[in-house]
Amino acid sequence: MMNLHICNPTVRAWLTGLALATLVRAAAPDPASAPDRTPANAPQELFPFLDLFASCLTIVESEYVDEVNPTNVMYNALHGLMRALDPHSEFMEPEATEELKIETEGAFGGIGIELGIRDEYLTVIAPIEGTPAAEAGLMPFDQIVKIGGESARSMSIHEAIKRMRGKPGTDVHITIQRRVQDQRELKDFSLTRAVIKVNSVRDAALIDPTNHIGYVRVTAFDKTTARELQHAIDGLVTQGMWALVLDVRNNGGGLLVEAIKMADMFLESNAVIVSVRSRVLRREQVFRASGEGAQYRMPLVVLVNGASASASEIVTGAIKDNQRGLVIGSKTFGKGSVQTVLPIGNNNCSLRLTTAKYYTPSGVCIHGTGIYPHIDVQLTLDDEIKLIEKRSNAFRKADPAQLTKAERAHYEALRAARDTQLERACDILNALRVLGNGGLARFMETPTAPAAPPAPAVAAPAAATNAPPRDDDASTE
C-alpha cells in the first residue's frame, strides 16, 4: 500500500510509528461521531500523502549537499505543518513540552505583555500594568520585529515568549514597529525581566459621587479576579453606588473560568454566557449563569477597546447579547480560539492545537471578529499613550515641585488628558437616571439572545478543561 524506500532506520521507524498510530486512533470506535464520518477510512486517504512525504525525505537524506539530521528534519516539518494551520497551533519538541509543564508551577521572570498574532506579526495585545513592559512604554498593537537582535518575523508565540522569559534581573532587548499617523516607526527597548505579579482589579472608586456612579478596572483574568471584583463592587455598594462602569480595556484575557464567574455576577439565572464549539459535537460546551453567589442588578456600562481580548470578549459578549448593559468604546481584538495540549509519540512531544472557538450567546464567533460596541467612541493613539502613562507608577509618584520645566510640561499634559470613552459612559448613565432604568433598553440594538443549542449538557465552570493556555502566561507570572 505504501511504497517506502527509506535507508535511514530512524526515519523508517518514525514513519512506521506514525502510520500505526494513525490506524489505531482512527479505527477506535467513536459512537458520538456524526453518522457521515468514517474514521476507519481516514488512513486510506492519508497513505498517498505519507508516501509523498517519505519520498521527499528520502531524496533529502540521500541527495542534499550536506548531511542532515533526520530528527531535526522531522521536527521542522511538523513545525511547518502546525504553523500553516493558525498562529496559535504549534508542534512542541520535548524541551518545549517540559517548559510548558514548568510554566504551570513556580515563578519565572518576564516582561509583562500579552502576545497575539495580527497581520502575520507578533503583536502586543496589551502590556500588563506595573510590569517592565508597561513602565517602558510598550503599547497595544506594537509589532515585535526583533528579540535579542534576531528577527521575530517567523517566530511562534511560544518561541517569542521563551526568548523574552529568563532569570529576574536580566535584560532582554526588543525592537518594535509602531504605526503613528499612517507612518511606521521602529523603537528599541531594553527591558529588565521581573517576576510578574498582577493585581487584576484596580482603581475601584465612585468617580461621580453626586450621581453615585462607580468604576472598576479589570486588567487580567487570573485565579482570584472574580473574587477581587466582587469585593470591589461590594465596597462601592456600601458607599451608595447606583450604577457601575466596568473597564476591560487593554485586558488581554486569561482564565475562562474567571470570565464565566464574572459574567455570572450580572446575569439572570440560566442565561447563556458563552459556548465553546468544535468540529466534534460531543466536545461542545455551553456555559450558563448559575444564579448563585453575588448578583448585581445596577445599571452597567462595559468599556472596551482593540486590546480587549479573549476572556474580556467573553464577558462583554455575554453582557451585550443578554441586554444586560451597554458596551462603549471601540471594537475588541477578536481572539476567541481554544488551544488544547495533546501528547504525541513516545518521546515527550506534544501538539498545542486549536480545537474549538468561543461563540457569544447570539451565536457570533468571537475569533477574528471581535465584539462591536453599542456606542463607538474612538481614542487616538496619542490619547491611548497618555492615558496609559497617566496610570503608571512614575506619574502617580511624581512630585511636580521636583520636575524640570520640560518634565513639568509633560506632567501637566498627562494630567489634562481626557478619557472620552469613560466620560461618555458617565454621561449616558446620568441620562438613564432621568429616563429611569427602562431607558437602558432604548440604547440597545442587539436582539434578545436566543436559547442555547439544546444538544450538550450544561457544563459547570469548574469542569472547563478547554480553557485556552493564556498567551500571556509565560511572560506574566
Active-site residue list: 310, 321, 335
Which residue's C-alpha cell is 457544563?
459
Output the nine-digit C-alpha cell for 416.
489634562
Taking alpha carbons only, the member of 184, 246, 276 closest to residue 467 is 276
* Strand duo 143-147 + 121-127: pairing: antiparallel
* Strand duo 194-195 + 109-110: pairing: antiparallel
332: left (phi over 0), alpha (psi -120 to 50) or beta: beta
Q: For the chain, percent helix, then strand, then coil, each to nearest 5?
A: 35, 25, 40
Residue 183, number of CB atoms within 10 A of its CB: 7
Distance CA 263, CA 274 (A): 10
Output the nine-digit C-alpha cell for 200.
487584576
Buried b (16+ CB within 10 A) or exposed e, 304-324: bbbbbbbbbbbbbbbbbbbbb
Q: In what order do the strands lie in the sheet with 201-208?
A: 201-208, 213-218, 243-247, 300-304, 326-329, 375-376
First to last CA, the chain: 50
Element (H, E) at 312: helix 311-321
359 SS3 class = strand
Indicate the DSSP class of residue 244.
E
Element (H, E) at 273: strand 272-277
Output the nine-digit C-alpha cell for 244.
457601575
Taking alpha carbons only, the member of 468, 56, 97, 8 closest to residue 253 is 468
The CA distances from residue 196 to 99, 129, 351, in Å, are 17, 10, 27
Whether residue 358 contacts residue 274, with contact meaning beta carbons closer than 8 Å, is answered with yes
Output the nine-digit C-alpha cell for 53.
512525504
Give backbone dihedrals phi and psi of 83, rounded to 5 degrees, phi first.
-65, -30
The alpha-helical segments, DSSP class H, found in 265-310 are none
Output the nine-digit C-alpha cell for 76.
521542522
Whether residue 114 contacts residue 476, with contact meaning beta carbons closer than 8 Å, is answered with yes
Q: Up-side HSE of residue 428: CA atoms within 13 Å toward CB? A: 27
